[in-house]
Amino acid sequence: MPAVMSAPKYLIPQRIERADGVGPAIDLEELRRKFLVVTLKINEVLEQEGLTIALWGSATGSDWGGRPILSFPQKSYCGEYATLLDLEQRPDIRFLRVEWKMNRWAHRDSGLRFGFEVSLQDSLSHVSSAVA
């Protein structure tokens, strides 16, 4: 019997943002206590801008603690970036949310703009879909 592959769960579906922001609290449901692949996809960016993504975890969906449980280093180019998040040792985390910060290092009159999405998937499903 073939393994059932789960689809990615979107913490932030594809969107275009022009300022710093925070996404909604997402219930992990079946992804609780698992080893996860977190994927950041950037498909639109203006020249000389940076995007920083942080994941915050919570047991209640209201108390997010003092620091993120995972952060992507600043990104300035379109692409797909993935990292691992081990929630096997964090059974208290039931909710995740994404916080993003944008900056520019060159003077320009136009506003900031990033098109991106953030998803997560059980690492076993991720590996199975990559091999298939």
Domain that holds residue 68: 9-125
Q: Is 87 exposed, middle or buried (0-12, 13-18, 19+ CB in 10 A)?
A: buried
Does the pLDDT value for residue 125 go beyond 70?
no
pLDDT tens, residue by residue, 79-124: 999 999 999 989 999 999 999 999 987 776 678 899 999 999 998 8
Residue 1 domain-assigned (yes or no):
no
User: Do residues 114 and 17 touch, judged by C-beta distance below 8 A?
Assistant: yes
Residue 83 domain-assigned (yes or no):
yes
Residue 67 domain-assigned (yes or no):
yes
Q: What is the pLDDT of residue 35?
A: 95
In b/e form, how buried is each residue of 7-25, taking b as 16+ CB within 10 angstroms? ebbebbeeeebeeeeebeb
| DSSP β-bridge partners for residue 26 | 96
Where does the pLDDT of residue 64 fall: very low under 50, low under 70, confident under 90, or very high at 90 and above? very high
Residue 3 domain-assigned (yes or no):
no
Pick from 121, 102, 103, 105: nearest CA to 22? 102
Where does the pLDDT of residue 131 fall: very low under 50, low under 70, confident under 90, or very high at 90 and above? very low
Residue 98 domain-assigned (yes or no):
yes
Q: What is the CATH number of the domain that holds 103?
A: 2.60.120
Residue 16 domain-assigned (yes or no):
yes
Task: Please count the structural domains in the chain.
Answer: 1
